[in-house]
Amino acid sequence: MNKIFLIIRQKLIILSIAIFFIVLIKCFFFKKTNIDNMKDFELFEQTVMTHPVDLEKIRVLLGSIKRNNINDGYSKLSSLIAANVFQEHFLFDEAKNELIWLSNVSKYNLFQYIAKLRLSNVFVNMSEYDKALECLKNPPKSFESLFDNSRGDVFFAQGKLSKAIENWKLSLNNMDKNDPLFKIIQLKIDSCN
């Protein structure tokens, strides 16, 4: 009985030591990767803030950030920022590609829903209204009013004022009256009447 106990104890000690070293190596690797991504993100952020914006450098840094760790917050935030820069420079296809990537890689979280809202706006700029409306289907409860507002904007861009007003009113019904967006949406409705 003591021999079995000693063998089990010895194996547990060896297993514990192996697990300790594996965890130590993973912590070191994760920390190094996280620090590298943080540095890349800081450089990316500085590049975005320069004037004039160096679009090629943004593309290179974005690719590096996404390549290093596709599922961390830096890659998702960088993609969202890059899409905004591309849209500001009327590079709608590049903005669209970033937002599609982001909505696919970020299933069921904040980034996915923000990407869908922004993607609908890009499709409106490209006059692809059906695709814009497709992005705005099935929002989570917490995003319903924002999706309704954006849906109203799409209908407004199409010249469908009654549908636009209907969606903006839905948005107001799900929104707190103290929300700053409430007054803006109310102004949209009032300007159509």
Q: Give the residue-averaged pLDDT of 20-37.
A: 53
Considering the entire predicted model, what is its pTM?
A: 0.74
Residue-wise pLDDT tens digits, 86-134: 998 999 999 999 999 988 886 668 888 989 999 999 999 999 999 999 9
pLDDT tens digits for 173-191? 988 899 888 999 999 999 9
Query: Cα(first)–Cα(last) distance of the chain, in Å?
Result: 89
Q: What is the pLDDT of residues 132-175, one digit of tens each?
A: 999 999 888 888 999 999 999 999 999 999 999 999 999 999 88
More confident position, 127 or 32: 127
Q: Residue 16: which pLDDT band, with cuts at 50, 70 and 90?
A: low
CB count within 10 Å of CB 99 equals 28
